[in-house]
């Protein structure tokens, strides 16, 4: 194939994946189905419309985890919309119930999503705004959410104690556990004749105590604003409530505490990000040079001829490429897999580079395309375990903010060494071409076959290779499906699947968000086995 044909084939395959990504994301937007029209007829705004009015005009909203719950019995999006938006110039974590999906009731995936949103707010020191209208716990799955769900209220009050303000705007029903969201928030706004905030609604009160009461006396916005004091501001309608929330944020006296200079200008990349589609193979067996991707993501050379990507140790451990760059004017260190497999040299190089980033308080970006650490006698004797452990030690104990993008393969302990989800990256995004699992589907099915064959031989039985083929095919299909980005995003193992062309913008927003607090690298790591 000529270079042009390869590029064309890759572009077509990636565009197909991006189209399918948009179709899956649309499922989250339309998850309410027939209840969307009913909600509008009631004169209410949709969750996404509330967010759009809340954030500064023309500013971006970085939606996070839109595919939560994908592949589960629950609607895609998990009955809530979360993300980071700028309100009165302040980057805020926004969590909005989607009342058109099961009355905004929280299911086990909503819980995972809201916990992750709280974690992102905590790690990056962001004020949070809850746009509440939720029927509380999804009652049929209460066993999975009631006990762990208490953490949501704990997180709110701990955020307040850390001086991270919490704001709750109540647009409708906010029953039982839902009542503690405004209850625990620093600032509460309730919409007149709409907000209903009570520990138990009239039917339950009647059952429990025999008292006959009504929604308004029990938990209406007027009552909470004039009598109970659980509301600080009575809003006339939804638009007024959003305006009042913006006023609250404007008065937070919020100052970013980061030490990076706020960039006023920066160069666009030297190479066109659009070309990423021609370069990134969707067939993970095809190699690609990550430098080609890096130069389409980071800031360009500029008039003073600065080098866009300053590679460190380029002649050593060449399966991992590491170096320094700026992105939207902010300094970063990058570690990117170049030829899939990680060997001892790559692991040592990574550990050294991570230490250097910590020494100079610089965030790190990990770009995954790895099949894991090298196996085999030569490599075991060369100490691949201790060198892999060295890299994982450095990643685990590094204190500078980490960003991760899974571009292609992310298999085995390579996922750990390259700062996978379990290693607490501040943000983790996936490209539609990515795959992540303990190993590739064929390899996993092949290992299972070898184990089954040996087990049969040990028992003196004849191994039924033909019969095992069905199991092998089934396992292969299952692992293939479980390795795909939507599945992993559905499990909330990432913060979103993104179009590769948006990577620069998304990471630029993340770096700005990270700058809400100072960066202080670690100089203490665990014991390095040398
Ligand atoms: N758990 C599971 N499903 C719920 C739910 C909950 N907490 N709250 C609502 N739903 C479901 C409804 O059964 C209905 O499902 P369906 O489409 O399959 O029939 C769907 O969500 C829409 O509910 P509906 O009552 O028609 O919506 P609404 O906008 O008129 O009212 C509520 C929304 C939340 C006010 C109302 O559904 C309600 O009071 N729910 C119970 C709230 C509660 O007591 N929660 C206790 C939590 S501890």
Q: Which residues line ligand 1 (CB under 6 A)?
A: 102-103, 105, 135-139, 173, 175-177, 201
Residues 177 and 281 reside in one and the same domain: no
Q: Would you say the C-alpha torsion 24, 25, 28, 33 has a positive or negative sign? A: negative
Distance from the alpha carbon of residue 100 to the mean position of ligand 1, in angstroms:
10
Q: Which residue has the tokens 């184990």?
A: 451
Residue 325 inside a domain? The answer is yes
Residue 492 inside a domain? The answer is no
Residues 107 and 214 reside in one and the same domain: yes
**Residue from 41, 135, 199 to probe ligand 1 pocket by mutation (most atoms less than 8 Å from CB):** 135
Query: Which pLDDT score, from 0 to 100, does residue 408 have?
Result: 93
**Per-residue model confidence as pLDDT tens digits over 67-100:** 999 999 999 999 999 999 999 999 999 999 999 9
**Residue from 102, 103, 111, 152 to probe ligand 1 pocket by mutation (most atoms less than 8 Å from CB):** 103
**Residue length of the chain:** 530
Residues 271 and 349 reside in one and the same domain: yes
CA distance 139 to 144: 10
Query: Which pLDDT score, from 0 to 100, does residue 405 have?
Result: 98
Residues 367 and 471 reside in one and the same domain: no
How distant is the alpha carbon of residue 245 from its chain centre? 25
Residues 478 and 502 reside in one and the same domain: no
Query: Which pLDDT score, from 0 to 100, does residue 445 have?
Result: 87
User: Mean pLDDT over residues 445-474, rounded?
Assistant: 90
Query: Which pLDDT score, from 0 to 100, does residue 306 have?
Result: 75
Residue 116 CB coordination number (10 Å): 19
**Per-residue model confidence as pLDDT tens digits over 101-145:** 999 999 999 999 999 999 999 999 999 999 999 988 899 999 999
Query: Which pLDDT score, from 0 to 100, does residue 443 have?
Result: 86
Residue 529 inside a domain? The answer is no
Q: Among 250, 271, 289, which residue terminates a domain?
A: 250
Residue 373 inside a domain? The answer is yes
Query: Which pLDDT score, from 0 to 100, does residue 215 have?
Result: 92
User: Mean pLDDT over residues 435-439, rounded?
Assistant: 85
For residues 118-130, one letter each, b for 16 or more C-beta atoms within 10 angstroms of the residue's C-beta and e for the rest, the string is bebbbbbbbbbbb
Distance from the alpha carbon of residue 103 to the mean position of ligand 1, in angstroms:
5
CATH no. for residue 342? 3.90.226.10
**Whether the predicted pLDDT of 434 surpasses 80:** yes
If one compares 312 and 466, the residue with the highest pLDDT of the two is 312
Query: Which pLDDT score, from 0 to 100, does residue 126 have?
Result: 98
Atom nearest to 177 CA in ligand 1: 48
Residue 478 inside a domain? The answer is yes
Q: Among 221, 250, 279, which residue terminates a domain?
A: 250
Residues 221 and 346 reside in one and the same domain: no
Q: Among 205, 231, 250, which residue terminates a domain?
A: 250
Which of these, 407, 447, 401, 456, lies nearest to 427 by C-alpha position? 401
Residue 450 corresponds to which tokens in the numbers above?
């070898």
Which of these, 296, 340, 297, 300, lies nearest to 321 by C-alpha position? 340
Query: Which pLDDT score, from 0 to 100, does residue 503 have?
Result: 98
Residues 131 and 209 reside in one and the same domain: yes
Distance from the alpha carbon of residue 173 to the mean position of ligand 1, in angstroms:
10
Share of the chain above pLDDT 70, in %: 99
**Whether the predicted pLDDT of 303 surpasses 80:** no
How distant is the alpha carbon of residue 413 from its chain centre? 20
**Across 28-42, 97-111, 447-461, least confident range:** 447-461
Residue 294 corresponds to which tokens in the numbers above?
């890096």
Residue 42 CB coordination number (10 Å): 10
Residue 122 inside a domain? The answer is yes
Residues 17 and 85 reside in one and the same domain: no
> pLDDT confidence of 1, banded at 50, 70, 90?
confident
Closest C-alpha to ligand 1, atom 39:
135
**Whether the predicted pLDDT of 302 surpasses 80:** no
Share of the chain above pLDDT 90, in %: 83
Domain count, the chain: 3
Distances (CA, A) of 323 to 77, 336, 404, 432: 36, 9, 15, 25
**Whether the predicted pLDDT of 14 surpasses 90:** yes
Q: Assign residue 469 a region: left if phi > 0, alpha if psi is -120 to 50, beta otherwise?
A: alpha
Atom nearest to 38 CA in ligand 1: 29
Crossing angle of helices 47-54 and 238-250, in 10° steps, is 40
Q: Would you say the C-alpha torsion 474, 479, 482, 484 has a positive or negative sign? A: negative
Which of these, 340, 335, 396, 341, lies nearest to 373 by C-alpha position? 341
H or E segment to which residue 396 belongs: helix 384-397
**Whether the predicted pLDDT of 304 surpasses 90:** no
H or E segment to which residue 157 belongs: helix 142-161
Distance from the alpha carbon of residue 176 to the mean position of ligand 1, in angstroms:
13
H or E segment to which residue 488 belongs: helix 485-490
Residue 151 corresponds to which tokens in the numbers above?
């953490």
Residue 359 corresponds to which tokens in the numbers above?
């020494």
The bridge status of strand 80-87 relative to strand 90-97 is: antiparallel
Contact between residue 76 and residue 238 where contact means Cβ atoms under 8 Å apart: no
Distance from the alpha carbon of residue 138 to the mean position of ligand 1, in angstroms:
8
Residues 11 and 106 reside in one and the same domain: no
Residues 453 and 408 reside in one and the same domain: no
Closest C-alpha to ligand 1, atom 42:
135
Distance from the alpha carbon of residue 434 to the mean position of ligand 1, in angstroms:
37
Residue 461 inside a domain? The answer is yes
3-state helix, strand, coil in the chain (%, to 5): 45, 20, 35
The mean predicted confidence, pLDDT, of the chain is: 94
Contact between residue 491 and residue 284 where contact means Cβ atoms under 8 Å apart: no
Say what the pTM is: 0.94
Residue 530 inside a domain? The answer is no
Residues 504 and 470 reside in one and the same domain: no
If one compares 265 and 455, the residue with the highest pLDDT of the two is 455
Residues of the domain holding 469: 439-484
Residues 211 and 264 reside in one and the same domain: no
């Amino acid at each position: 194939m000529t270079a042009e044909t390869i590029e064309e084939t890759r572009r077509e395959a990636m565009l197909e994946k991006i189209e399918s990504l948009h179709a899956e994301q649309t499922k989250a937007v339309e998850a309410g189905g027939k209840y969307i029209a009913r909600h509008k007829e009631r004169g209410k705004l949709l969750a996404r419309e509330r967010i759009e009015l809340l954030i500064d005009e023309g500013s971006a909203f970085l939606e996070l985890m839109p595919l939560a719950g994908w592949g589960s019995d629950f609607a895609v999006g998990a009955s809530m919309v979360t993300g980071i938006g700028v309100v009165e110039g302040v980057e805020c974590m926004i969590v909005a119930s989607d009342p058109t999906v099961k009355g905004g009731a929280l299911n086990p995936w909503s819980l995972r999503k809201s916990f992750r949103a709280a974690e992102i707010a905590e790690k990056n020191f962001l004020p949070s705004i809850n746009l509440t209208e939720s029927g509380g716990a999804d009652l049929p799955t209460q066993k999975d959410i009631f006990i762990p769900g208490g953490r949501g209220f704990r997180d709110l009050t701990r955020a307040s104690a850390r001086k991270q303000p919490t704001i709750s705007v109540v647009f409708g029903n906010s029953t039982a556990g839902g009542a503690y969201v405004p209850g625990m928030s620093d600032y509460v706004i309730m919409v007149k004749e709409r907000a209903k905030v009570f520990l138990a609604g009239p039917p339950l009160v009647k059952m429990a105590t025999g008292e006959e009461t009504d929604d308004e006396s029990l938990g209406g916005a007027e009552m909470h604003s004039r009598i109970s004091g659980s509301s600080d501001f009575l809003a006339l309608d939804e638009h007024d409530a959003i305006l009042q929330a913006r006023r609250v944020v404007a008065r937070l006296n919020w100052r970013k505490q980061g030490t990076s200079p706020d960039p006023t200008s920066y160069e666009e990349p030297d190479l066109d990000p659009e070309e990423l589609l021609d370069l990134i193979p969707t067939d993970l067996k095809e190699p690609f040079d990550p430098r080609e991707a890096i130069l389409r993501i980071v800031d360009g050379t500029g008039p003073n001829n600065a080098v866009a990507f300053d590679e460190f140790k380029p002649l050593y451990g060449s399966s991992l490429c590491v170096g320094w760059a700026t992105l939207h004017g902010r300094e970063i260190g990058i570690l990117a897999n170049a030829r899939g497999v990680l060997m001892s040299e790559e692991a040592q190089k990574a550990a050294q580079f991570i230490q250097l980033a910590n020494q100079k308080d610089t965030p790190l970006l990990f770009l995954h395309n790895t099949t894991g650490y090298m196996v085999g006698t030569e490599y075991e004797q060369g100490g691949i375990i201790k060198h892999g452990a060295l890299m994982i030690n450095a990643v685990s104990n590094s204190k500078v903010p980490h960003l991760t993008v899974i571009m292609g393969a992310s298999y085995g302990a390579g996922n750990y060494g390259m700062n996978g989800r379990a290693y607490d990256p501040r943000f983790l995004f996936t490209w539609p071409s990515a795959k992540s699992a303990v190993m590739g589907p064929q390899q996993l099915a092949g290992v299972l076959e070898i184990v089954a064959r040996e087990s049969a031989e040990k028992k003196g039985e004849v191994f039924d290779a033909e019969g095992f083929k069905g199991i092998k095919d089934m396992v292969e299909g299952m692992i293939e499906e479980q390795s795909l980005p939507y599945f992993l995003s559905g499990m909330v193992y990432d913060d979103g699947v993104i179009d590769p062309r948006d990577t620069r913008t998304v990471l630029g927003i993340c770096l700005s968000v990270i700058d809400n607090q100072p960066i202080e690298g670690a100089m203490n790591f665990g014991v390095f086995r040398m």
